[in-house]
Chains A and B, each alone.
Chain A
Amino acid sequence: MTALLTALATLGDELAAHVVLSAAALALGIAIALPLTLWSARHATVARLALGLASLIQTIPALALLALFYPILLWLSGVVGGGIPALGFLPALLALALYAVLPILRGGVTGLAGLDPAVREAADAVGMTPGQKLRWVEAPLVAPYIMAGIRTAAVWTIGAATLATTIGQTSLGDPIFAGLQTQNWVTVLAGCLAAAALAIAADGVLALVERGIATRRSLHAWLGLALLAAGLGWALWPGSAERRETLVVGAKNFSEQYILARLIGERLEAAGYAVEYREGLGSAVVFRALDAGDIDVYVDYAGTLWTGEFKRTDNPPRAGMLREIDRRLATPGGARLIGPLGFENAYAFAMRADAAKASGVASLDDLVRAAPEMTLGADLEFLDRPEWAAVRAAYPLRFAKTRKYSPTFMYRALESGDAAVITAFSSDGRIAADKLTVLTDPRGAIPNYDALLLASSRCAAAPRCAAALKPLVGAIPVTAMRGANFRVDRDADKQAPAEAARWLSQRIER
Chain B
Amino acid sequence: MSGAPNLAPEIRFERVARRFGAVEALAPLDLTIAGGSFVALVGGSGSGKSTLLRCINRLDETAGASREGRVSIGGEPVDHLPAPELRRRIGYVFQSIGLFPHLSVAQNVGIGRRVRGGIMPPEEVAGLLDSVGLESTLASRMPSELSGGQRQRVGVARALAESPQILLLDEPFGALDPVTRAALGERVRALHTARGLTTLMVTHDMAEALLLADRVVVLEQGRIVADAPPIDLASGRAGDIAEALVAVPREQARRIADLAGR
A interface residues (Cβ-Cβ under 8 A, vs B):
116-129, 132, 135-137, 140-141, 216
Please judge, given known A-B contacts A126-B158, A127-B85, A128-B84, whether A136 and B98 are in contact too, CB under 8 Å: no
Cα(A237)–Cα(B101), bound, Å: 42
Contact in complex: A126, B97 (CB < 8 Å):
no
Contact in complex: A125, B115 (CB < 8 Å):
no
Contact in complex: B115, A122 (CB < 8 Å):
no
Cα(A117)–Cα(B57), bound, Å: 17
Cα(A119)–Cα(B59), bound, Å: 14
Contact in complex: B101, A141 (CB < 8 Å):
yes
Contact in complex: A124, B87 (CB < 8 Å):
yes
**CB proximity of B137 to chain A, nearest CB, Å:** 21
Contact in complex: A126, B102 (CB < 8 Å):
no
* A-contacting residues, B97-111, CB 8 Å: 97-102, 111
Contact in complex: B84, A127 (CB < 8 Å):
yes
Cα(A125)–Cα(B111), bound, Å: 11
B94: interface (CB < 8 Å): yes
By a CB distance below 8 angstroms, the chain A residues around B88 are 126-127
By a CB distance below 8 angstroms, the chain A residues around B98 are 116, 118-123, 125
Please judge, given known A-B contacts A121-B59, A121-B94, whether A128 and B100 are in contact too, CB under 8 Å: no
Other A-B pairs, 14, CB within 8 Å; known A122-B100, A125-B159: A116-B101, A118-B98, A119-B101, A121-B62, A121-B94, A122-B158, A123-B98, A125-B94, A125-B98, A126-B87, A127-B84, A135-B115, A136-B100, A141-B102
B96: interface (CB < 8 Å): yes
**CB proximity of A124 to chain B, nearest CB, Å:** 6
Cα(A216)–Cα(B100), bound, Å: 14
How many Cβ-Cβ contacts under 8 Å join chain A to chain B? 66
B173: interface (CB < 8 Å): no
B141: interface (CB < 8 Å): no
Task: Identify whether the interface residues of A are mostly helix, strand, loop, or mixed.
Answer: helix
Contact in complex: A136, B111 (CB < 8 Å):
yes
Contact in complex: A126, B57 (CB < 8 Å):
no
Contact in complex: A137, B87 (CB < 8 Å):
no
Contact sample, A vs B, 10 pairs, CB 8 Å cutoff? A116-B98, A119-B99, A119-B100, A119-B101, A122-B158, A124-B87, A126-B87, A127-B88, A128-B115, A216-B102
Cα(A124)–Cα(B100), bound, Å: 12
Cα(A142)–Cα(B42), bound, Å: 37
**CB proximity of A435 to chain B, nearest CB, Å:** 75
Which of A116, A118, A124, A137 is the one whose CB lies under 8 Å from B62? A124
B114: interface (CB < 8 Å): yes
Return the CB mask of B63-105 against A: 1 if under 8 Å, else 0: 0000000000000000000011111110010101111111000
Contact in complex: A118, B94 (CB < 8 Å):
yes
Contact in complex: B99, A126 (CB < 8 Å):
no
B112: interface (CB < 8 Å): yes
Contact in complex: B87, A127 (CB < 8 Å):
yes
Contact in complex: B94, A137 (CB < 8 Å):
no
**CB proximity of A129 to chain B, nearest CB, Å:** 5
By a CB distance below 8 angstroms, the chain B residues around A116 are 96, 98, 101
Return the CB mask of B155-170 against A: 1 if under 8 Å, else 0: 0001100000000000
Contact in complex: A136, B115 (CB < 8 Å):
yes
Q: Which residue of B lies closest to A121 (CB)?
A: B98
Q: Which residue of B lies closest to A144 (CB)?
A: B102
**CB proximity of A221 to chain B, nearest CB, Å:** 14
Contact in complex: B84, A129 (CB < 8 Å):
yes
The residue among A122, A128, A132, A135 with the most chain B CB atoms within 10 A of its own CB is: A122
Cα(A127)–Cα(B99), bound, Å: 14
**CB proximity of B16 to chain A, nearest CB, Å:** 20
Which of B62, B96, B112 is the one whose CB lies under 8 Å from A126? B112
